Amino acid sequence: MAMLGRILTLLLLLFLAVPAGTASAAPAGATPAGAWVRSDMVEARLVAAVRGTGTLAEVPLGLQVRLAPGWKTYWRSPGDAGQPPAIDWAASRNLASASIAWPAPERFTLFGLETFGYAGEVTFPIAAVPATPGEPMSLAAAVDLLVCSDICVPRRLDLALDLPAGPAGPSDEANLLARAVAAVPVGGEAAGLSLEGAVLTPGRAPSLSVTLRAREPLVEPDVFVEGVDLAFAAPRASFSDGNRRVVLQLPVAHAPAGKAPELAALAGRMLTLTVVDGRRAAEFQAAATVAAAPVAVDGTLGGMLALALLGGLILNLMPCVLPVLSLKLASAVGLAGAAPGRVRLGFLASAAGILASFLALAAALAGLKAAGAAVGWGIQFQQPLFLVFMTVLVTAFAANLWGLFEVPLPRGIADALGSHPGNPGSLAGNFATGALATLLATPCSAPFLGTAVGFALARGPLEILAVFAALGTGLALPYLLVAAVPGIARLLPRPGRWMVTLRRVLGVALALTGLWLLAVLAAQEGTPTAAAVGGLMIAALVLLAILRGAGRRIGTAAAAVLALLAFGAPAVLGGSSDAGRPGAAHDGAWAAFDRMAIAPLVAEGRTVFVDVTADWCITCQANKTLVLGRGEAARRLFGGEVVAMQADWTRPDPSIADYLAAHGRYGIPFNIVYGPGAPEGIALPELLSEGAVLDALDRAARAPDRSTPGRTTPGLAAIPDRE
C-alpha cells in the first residue's frame, strides 16, 4: 500500500509540476513503452509513466496485459485454482528492485470452483527502484502468465523497455498508469467503506461473516479473503440501512488436503479482506473472531425433537400464553358435562389449530431463510402490520367474550362444525383458540426451546418443519391429554349464568393483551400511531355495542366492523412517517450494544454483560424486572465494575441478528458475559436467576487459568485477545 501511494503521488506531481514541452527534451528515439509481445491468446508489454529516469528514486512502470475473449489470468491469490503472474528481472540493468501492485480482481465461478483474476485487459502498476538514480535503465522482464479458458495454458513472454536518462516528464502512457493505480484497493476511509466485523462460525456449515458499512449505497459487493488456508464460496449478501450496510456470508468450501477446518484455532488470526463494489475497492486488515458452533447443530435430530417437545410443553407455563387462558377456560367450561365424543373433538380441534399454526410458521421461516432473510423465533413481532393484526384479533375475541357479537354460520357448515347458538365449544372456535395460542406464544422463550429452534434454523427445511411440529405437539399436549381422557372436563362446574360473568372477566384479560400489543407498536412506530390504532379498536367496540342494542343483524354488523378493523388500522399505520419513529433504544442504565468494543474491553480487564432484548419479548421483560433490575445483580451490573450493554431487537436489526446467529441463537432473550476469565463468553439460560448471573460475573472477572494453556469454554464464542 505504501508503494502504491508513492506511485500515485509521483504521477500527480508529474501532471501538476512539469511544464508543457518538457517532454520534448528527452533524447531522440526514447519511448515510454516497450513493444507488444504476443503468444497465442495473450499479449503484453512494459510501459512507463515517464519519458526519462530524471532523479527519481522510484520509477513508475506498468505491465500491460491483453487477453483474447473468453480468457483470463490471475490475481495474487488466485482462489481454488490458478497461478498469479511472476516476473523475473534478472537480465535488467540499473535495476535494484521492482514491486508490483494488484488491481482489484473479479470472481470467476466454473464447475464449482471459485477463482479470482482479470479478463479482457489489466495493467499492473510497478515501482522500479534504480540502482543508480539518474542513469538510464534497461529493463528486461521474463513474465510467466497462466491464462485459462476451458483449458489452462502457461505462457512466458520476454518483455523489454529502455528508459533513458533525462527529465522525468509524463509520457503518453501516464494516464494508463494513473487508471491502473486507481484500480488498486485503497484504505477503507478513502473508499468510503468501514469494516464492522469478521466472524468465523464453525459447525457442519462453517462460514465467514463480513459486515461492512458504506457512505454511499452498496450495489454488488464482493469480498476476497487472505490469511487463512481455507477456500470460501461466493458470498450471500444481506442489505440494510438503505443498502449502506451489508453482511456478506461466505460458506467455507473446503480446506487444504480435505481436512476439516479447525476454525477455533484461528481466533485472533489477521485476515486481509479485499472488498470490491463496482469501481470502488478497499483493503482491510482484521483480527478474526471465532464464534463456536452451537452444540445443538451437532446433536441428532431425534434428540432435538425430544427437546422441542419438552420446550413446547413448558411454553404452556410462560406468560405469553397466559392471556389465551381466557379462551381455554371458556371452551373447557362450555364442554363440561358434554358427551365424551364432543369433548374429544373440541380439544382435538384446539390441538389441530396449534399444530397447523406451527407448521405455517415453519414454512414461512424456511422460505425466508431460503431467500437469504434473517430468521428467528418471534421476529414477526418486529413487523408493525403483524402487531396491528394481532391487536384486531384479540379485540375481536374480547368482543365475542363480552357478547357484543356472534357470527352465525350457515346451517350446513354449523352442523358440520358442531356450531350452534349457545355452543361456545364449536370446532371452529376451538381451532381458532389453538391458532391464537401459537401466535401469542412466539414472543416467549422457554428452557430447551432456544436449543431446538437454533438447531432447526441452522439446518434445512425438513429439519425446520420437524422441529416446529414437535414444538406444536408439546404446546398441544394438554389438549391432547383431555382428548384422550374426556372425563377430565367433567371436573369443571356445569355451565350456568355464572359463565356470563366469567366470560366478561376473561375478555378483560384479552383486552389487556391488546394494550400490551399497542405498547409494543408505540415503541416501534411512535405513540401517535399506536393511539390511532387503539382509537379504532375502541370505536369498533362502541359501534358493536350500539348495533347490538339496536337489534341489528349482528352477523352483518360484526363483519362490517371487523372490516373496519382489518383495513382501517393498517391504513393508519401506512400513513405514519418514518421521520418520527424512534430508533432502537436502550434503558438509561445500559450502554448501547457495540459488538466491536467487546474484545478491547476484555483486553483491558473489564467484564462485559450483553443483554439482547425487545419490548415484545415478555420473557426478556420478566428477566429485567425480577433479576437484572433488582438486588445484588443490579448493584453489580450498574455499579461501575461491569460494562452492561443492551441490544434492542424490538425492530429488525441485522447486526443483532448476526450476533445471535454467531452464537447459534435465533431467538431472545439472550444474555452472555465476557471477561478476562471468559473471553469466549459465558452464555446464560433463557430464564435468569440472580445466582446464575452473579456466578457468571464472578467467573468472567477472574484472571484466566494459565496452568492449562489453550483451555476454552466449549460451545461459546471465542473473541481474540488484541494484546
pLDDT bucket at 258, cuts 50 / 70 / 90: very low
SS3 519: helix
Percent of the chain topping pLDDT 70: 73
pLDDT bucket at 443, cuts 50 / 70 / 90: low
Asked whether the beta carbons of 405 and 540 are under 8 A apart, the reply is no
Residue 299 has pLDDT above 90, yes or no: no
Asked whether the beta carbons of 109 and 182 are under 8 A apart, the reply is no
CA proximity to 204, closest of 115, 298, 122, 286: 298
pLDDT at residue 3, rounded to an integer: 55
Report H helices in 582-653. 595-603, 618-623, 631-638
Which range, of 102-111, 181-190, 565-574, 602-611, averages the lowest pLDDT?
A: 565-574
**Between 394 and 578, residue with greater pLDDT:** 394
Residue 468 has pLDDT above 60, yes or no: yes
Strands of 166-260 (E only): list them: 193-201, 207-214, 222-226, 231-232, 236-240, 245-254
Most confident of 280-289, 496-505, 614-623: 280-289
Q: Which residue has the cell 531522440?
A: 28
**Between 651 and 18, residue with greater pLDDT:** 651
pLDDT at residue 30, rounded to an integer: 46
CA proximity to 56, closest of 4, 2, 130: 130
Q: Which residue has the cell 523497455?
A: 161
CA proximity to 423, closest of 439, 445, 408: 408
Asked whether the beta carbons of 497 and 422 are under 8 A apart, the reply is no
* Cα–Cα distance, 82 to 131 (Å, whole number): 33
Residue 722 has pLDDT above 50, yes or no: no
Most confident of 76-90, 465-479, 674-688, 690-704: 76-90
**Between 600 and 77, residue with greater pLDDT:** 77
Q: Classify residue 538 by burial, with Cβ atoms within 10 Å: 0-12, 13-18, 19+.
A: exposed
pLDDT at residue 704, rounded to an integer: 56
Q: Which amino acid, 682? A: I
Residue 498 has pLDDT above 70, yes or no: no
706 backbone φψ class: left, alpha, beta (φ>0; ψ -120 to 50): alpha
Residue 581 has pLDDT above 70, yes or no: no
Which range, of 181-190, 239-248, 478-487, 628-637, averages the lowest pLDDT?
A: 478-487
DSSP for 26-45 reads: SPTT--SBPPPEEETTEEEE
Q: Which amino acid, 380? A: Q
pLDDT bucket at 290, cuts 50 / 70 / 90: confident
* Cα–Cα distance, 365 to 463 (Å, whole number): 12
- Count of C-beta atoms within a 10 Å radius of residue 553: 10
Grid coordinates representing 381 are 413481532
pLDDT bucket at 86, cuts 50 / 70 / 90: very high
Q: How far is CA 475 from CA 416, 442, 621, in A?
A: 26, 11, 22
pLDDT at residue 217, rounded to an integer: 93
Q: What is the mean pLDDT of residues 654-663?
A: 80
pLDDT bucket at 382, cuts 50 / 70 / 90: confident
Per-residue pLDDT tens over the stretch 342-368: 767 877 888 888 899 889 888 888 887
171 backbone φψ class: left, alpha, beta (φ>0; ψ -120 to 50): beta
Per-residue pLDDT tens over the stretch 397-411: 778 778 776 544 444
pLDDT at residue 50, rounded to an integer: 93
**Between 337 and 298, residue with greater pLDDT:** 337
Residue 154 has pLDDT above 90, yes or no: yes
pLDDT bucket at 129, cuts 50 / 70 / 90: very high
SS3 689: coil
- Count of C-beta atoms within a 10 Å radius of residue 311: 24
**Those residues with Cβ within 8 angstroms of residue 195's Cβ, 6 or more apart along the chain or in another chain:** 188, 210, 211, 212, 273, 275, 284, 286
Asked whether the beta carbons of 617 and 668 are under 8 A apart, the reply is yes
Q: Which residue has the cell 381466557?
A: 326
**Between 475 and 106, residue with greater pLDDT:** 106
Residue boundaries of the structural domains of the chain: 2-182, 188-290, 297-580, 591-701
Asked whether the beta carbons of 52 and 164 are under 8 A apart, the reply is yes
Residue 447 has pLDDT above 90, yes or no: no
**Those residues with Cβ within 8 angstroms of residue 210's Cβ, 6 or more apart along the chain or in another chain:** 195, 197, 198, 223, 235, 247, 248, 250, 273, 275
* Cα–Cα distance, 204 to 213 (Å, whole number): 29
pLDDT at residue 427, rounded to an integer: 72
Report, in this order, helix, strand and coil percent for the chain, each rounded to 5: 45, 25, 35
Q: Report long-range pairs for 490-493 (Cβ below 8 Å, ≥24 apart).
A: 490/336, 490/337, 492/332, 492/333, 492/336, 493/333, 493/336
* CATH class of domain segment(s) 591-701: alpha beta
**Between 642 and 458, residue with greater pLDDT:** 642
pLDDT at residue 582, rounded to an integer: 39
CATH number (2.60.40, 2.115.10, 3.30.70, 1.20.120) of 188-290 reads: 2.60.40
Percent of the chain topping pLDDT 90: 29
pLDDT at residue 530, rounded to an integer: 84
Q: What is the mean pLDDT of residues 589-595?
A: 87
Most confident of 4-18, 262-276, 400-414: 262-276
Asked whether the beta carbons of 380 and 490 are under 8 A apart, the reply is no
Grid coordinates representing 368 are 425466508
pLDDT bucket at 577, cuts 50 / 70 / 90: very low
State the angle between helix axes of 527-549 and 554-574 in degrees (0 to 180), rounded to the nearest 10: 170
Q: How far is CA 114 from CA 288, 333, 527, 539, in A?
A: 22, 65, 51, 61
Q: What is the mean pLDDT of residues 674-692?
A: 87
pLDDT bucket at 612, cuts 50 / 70 / 90: very high
Most confident of 290-294, 629-633, 711-715: 629-633
CA proximity to 230, closest of 212, 211, 249, 207: 207
The answer to whether the 188-290 and 591-701 domains have the same CATH topology is no
Residue 52 has pLDDT above 60, yes or no: yes
pLDDT at residue 556, rounded to an integer: 53
pLDDT bucket at 284, cuts 50 / 70 / 90: very high
Grid coordinates representing 325 are 387462558
pLDDT at residue 174, rounded to an integer: 92
Helices H / strands E in the chain, number of each: 19, 25
**Between 710 and 441, residue with greater pLDDT:** 441
For residues 343, 344, 345 and 349, what is the CA-based torsion angle, rounded to 10 degrees? 100
pLDDT at residue 552, rounded to an integer: 52
* Cα–Cα distance, 196 to 213 (Å, whole number): 7
Average predicted confidence (pLDDT) for the chain? 78
Which range, of 90-104, 428-442, 523-537, 676-690, averages the lowest pLDDT?
A: 428-442
Q: φ, ψ for residue 298 (rounded to 5)?
A: -90, 0
Q: Is the pTM of this model over 0.85?
A: no
CATH architecture of 2-182: Sandwich (2.60)
